[in-house]
Amino acid sequence: MGKNVLISKRLFNALCRYHIHEEHSDEALIKTELEDKMMCHAKRIVYSEHKTGSTEEHRQKAFEVYQELQKR
């Protein structure tokens, strides 16, 4: 696995409260923060493919996907 993902202290604390103390009051915050993090991660992957794709067609397709993700 080897790669790390950074999260905010706010999200970390909310996750700790949720899983360790079973406080479910921050479910909406956790969901929103994780969705945002996953979207950023997806954009980063697609952008990297756009820059380093093996063929021009692959790079172009990745760029189109990246542009679509930027609209969200």
For tokens 């820059």, the residue is 51
Domain ranges of the chain: 9-71
What does the DSSP 8-state code read for residue 36?
H
d(CA 66, CA 21): 38
pLDDT of residue 69: 86
pLDDT of residue 1: 53
What does the DSSP 8-state code read for residue 25?
T
Mean pLDDT, rounded, of the chain: 91
Which of 52, 54, 55, 49 has the alpha carbon at shortest distance from 64?
49
Residue 13's pLDDT band, with cuts at 50, 70 and 90, is very high
- Residue 5 is encoded by which pair of tokens? 């993902």
pLDDT of residue 2: 65
Specify the 3-state DSSP secondary structure of 55: coil
pLDDT of residue 11: 97
